[in-house]
Structure 1
């Protein structure tokens, strides 16, 4: 069977793309990818603040990396379920069992914000004079 499952396992209804079997596993692979994501995102954030934004952080890059890991784990452990519920509601808004809208509100927010940001940049980021 290999890494990819057969096409019929993943394409019964809508013709979606096949997924990696390893990505849906709940064994050691999931734990490994979770750790990899936390470390890489924390490292990226530490790099952004220390090297790109050139912020003077106590202890340099490595302490910033450890603080980012600590912060991500604290927020992950406290707010993971709440954030998941909010994102699920924004993707498919429901009240009880009734569907409120058939649009993905995250896509609407990102699209509207990005177009207003581009329009603002075209206008040279000018302040409004009232």
Structure 2
């Protein structure tokens, strides 16, 4: 599982991010010059907490496996390699792997002055386990 997709997996998430994930995930920062782009690998069943990108938003470029994306108040969407998700600023959302698949995406942080992420509550096991 070290080199799934076109970029190396990277190491386990730093502690400052790991607390916002249910399960194990890995991060390989590809660049932080101009635009921050990280290759994020989720083990099966791993997902991040609900969160909001204030000011700048985020773009997910799915490169391997299958997973989920859900914006608050909307139905979860199943994702596969080749999918692109444009997440506007100020939208509460989460994303992560399907129960039975590794999930890899490039996380592109849309640059904006004074942009920051607000991490919120975990996605409940009940809600996640009921995804179809």
Q: TM-score, normalised by structure 2?
A: 0.20
Point out the structure with max Rg over C-alpha. Answer: 1
Q: Which has the higher contact order (CA 8 A, sep 6+)?
A: 2
Q: TM-score, normalised by structure 1?
A: 0.20
- The structure whose residues are more often strand, as a share, is 2
